[in-house]
Amino acid sequence: MNSLTRGIRNTFRNSIRTVSIVLILGLSIGLSLSMLVARQAVENKISTVKSTIGTSITVSPAGARGFDGGGEPLTQADLDKAKSVAHVTSVSGTLQDRLSSDNTNLQSAIDPGTLGRRFGRSNSGFGAGGQAPNGGTFKLPVMLIGTDDPASAQVLSGSSVKLTSGTLYAAGSSDKVAVIGKELATKNNLSVGSTFTAYASTITVVGIYDAGNTFSNGTVVMPLKTVQTLSSQANAITSAIIKVDSIDTIDGAVNNLKTQLGSKADVVSQKDTATQALAPLQNIKNVSLFSLIGAMVAGAIIILLTMVMIVRERRREIGVLKAIGASNVKIMWQFMAEAVSFTVIGAVLGIAIGLAGGKPITNMLVTNSSNASSAVSQTAGPGQGPVTAQAGGGGLFRRAASNLNLKDVHAVISWHLLLYGFAAAVLIALVGSAVPSLLIAKIRPAEVMRTE
């Protein structure tokens, strides 16, 4: 037997104390690990969100806001200018329109309801899109998006777009084809290969998608050129989604785009929206960091006080060991081994607690924080309204910020996370046993005679 094995055996010298210390340490380490898991999960979510919406810019005609406002549409030449701006990685133009009974045989999948009738009454020129509001017969128009990027979640303002049947059309296509939302397909009994009429032309359904929300699932998506041609809006663009290479370059890119496009375009970055949307997650990240530090400090203090108590309790035994030839170092090793043993057992329990509690704690933190956040945003009132009310223009895209699905945070307990946790536990033990080691060094062997 040597100092290390003696130290390990001493861990079990007092079973009640051992169980108590291990339980407290286990809870402390478990909480640390849960916080580490939460922090990691939230960090991953933040970087994912930043790498998507955080790098996007919306360009729309100056003064236009969906189907409200005015101004002149953008053109392909404007998009070409945007492409030449530094750090821009892609430019995707869209042309939005509304299909009413005047130019389509499609029925809207969305019931107008109170809101639809109210907006219908307030927009006297609504007849350009749908049927005039005449009591209960008022029907919403069918939203149409012309785009070369039909799979874009941002274009359709869904958290993700899944093609449930058929295929997508090719970018740059000018065919009379469409990909339609699943609710519109159901409402009009359409499937892949079916046809419908728009702008007096026959359009073939090539795919049906699910964007995860009712509004987008009632939309028709067609090739940009096709919509431009059929709607007699050659070369017109009602909004463009521009991506830059990093969130760090977005401000510079916005300024350059404003310079390039001048007063004819409104250039809006999603950085602020994303930052605001991510604030709850940033809070969780901070809370989890502080909790992690707190739990680790608590663990170190627990083991420190435990070891101080044990050293004081065993002064005579330490004196005896010194009297029979043990060096300070040997005795310190013995007590450090004991502290590490306590911590390792506590860490095993803590890891079990972390494994069991990591995901629920992360979900709880995210849910509470997101609920608090949405409660705050709801108090913003009608100001938020136009964004969702306007189907066209930048409205769809702007809604994407509120569709980040921030609650969808995946807590993953990886091996390297466990190793970090374990290393932290050993560090706690070493720090916690450092002070008791100094106490050991100060105990003189003559103590054993004094306590006789």
Partner 1 sequence: MLEVKKVTKQFSSGSGDVTAVKDISLQIPAGKFASIIGKSGSGKSTLLSLLGALDKPTSGSIEVDGQDITRLGDRALNTYRGKQIGFVFQSYNLVPNLTALENVMLPLEFTRVARRERVGRAKSLLDQVGITGDKQQRKPSRLSGGEQQRVAIARALANQPKVILADEPTGNLDSQTGKMIFDLLHSLARSQNTTIVAVTHDLSIAGKTDMTFTLSDGKLVKQ
Q: How far is the CB of 444 from partner 1 (least distance, A)?
A: 7
Q: Residue holding tokens 């274009």?
A: 155
- Chain centroid to CA 421: 24
Subset of 11-30 contacting partner 1 (CB under 8 A): 13
Contacting residues for 307 by C-beta, under 8 A, at least 6 apart: 335, 338, 339, 432, 433, 435, 436
Does 444 engage in binding with partner 1 (CB under 8 A)? yes
Residue 76 burial (C-beta neighbours within 10 Å; 0-12, 13-18, 19+): middle
Minimal distance in Å, beta carbon 319 to partner 1?
A: 8
Residues 60-99 that bind partner 1 (CB under 8 A): none
Considering only 115, 356, 372, 449, the residue that binds partner 1 (CB under 8 A) is: 449
CB atoms under 10 Å from CB of 149, counted, come to 18
Minimum distance, C-beta of residue 452 to partner 1, in the bound complex (Å): 5
Q: How far is the CB of 347 from partner 1 (least distance, A)?
A: 23
Determine if 10 is a binding residue for partner 1 (CB under 8 A): yes
Direct distance between the N- and C-terminal alpha carbons of the chain, in angstroms, rounded to an integer: 27
Neighbours of 145 (CB within 10 A): 27
Q: Which stretch binds partner 1 (CB under 8 A): 6-14, 52-60, 265-273, 288-296?
A: 6-14
Q: Please list the helix, strand and coil fractions of the chain in percent, rounded to the nearest 5, in that order.
A: 60, 15, 25
Which residue bears the tokens 């919509």? 227
Q: Minimum CB separation from partner 1 for residue 349, in Å?
A: 23
DSSP string, 220-275: EEE-HHHHHHHTT-TT-BSEEEEEES-GGGHHHHHHHHHHHHGGGEEEEESHHHHH
Give the count of residues interacting with partner 1 (CB under 8 A).
26
Nearer to partner 1 (CB atom), residue 9 or residue 117: 9
Could you say whether residue 352 binds partner 1 (CB under 8 A)? Answer: no
Q: 261 or 339: whose CB is closer to partner 1?
A: 339
Closest CA to 227 of 288, 146, 147, 281: 146
- Residue 15 C-beta: closest distance to partner 1, Å: 12
Instruction: Considering the complex, state which of residue 5 and residue 235 has its C-beta at the smaller distance from partner 1.
Output: 5
336 in Cβ contact with 303 (< 8 Å): no
Tokens, residue 13: 């010298």
User: Which region among 42-50, 411-419, 421-429, 439-447 touches partner 1 (by CB under 8 A)?
Assistant: 439-447
In whole angstroms, the minimum distance from the beta carbon of 308 to partner 1 comes to 20
Is the CB of residue 32 less than 8 Å from the CB of residue 292?
yes
Angle, in degrees to the nearest 10, between helices 271-313 and 328-378: 150
1 part of the interface to partner 1, by CB under 8 A: yes
State the Cα–Cα distance between residues 36 and 204, nearest whole angstrom: 52
3 versus 147: smaller Cβ distance to partner 1: 3
- Using the rule CB under 8 A, give the single segment among 9-17, 167-175, 237-245, 296-304 that binds partner 1: 9-17
Among 225, 258, 315, 330, binds partner 1 (CB under 8 A): 330
Q: How far is the CB of 321 from partner 1 (least distance, A)?
A: 7
Pick between residue 316 and residue 407 the one whose CB is nearest to partner 1.
316
Residue 314 CB, shortest distance to partner 1, in Å, is: 9
| Residues 287-326, mask of contacts with partner 1 (x by CB under 8 A) | -----------------------------xx-xxxxxxxx
- In the complex, the residues that contact partner 1 under the rule CB under 8 A are 1-2, 6, 9-10, 13, 316-317, 319-328, 330, 444-446, 448-450, 452
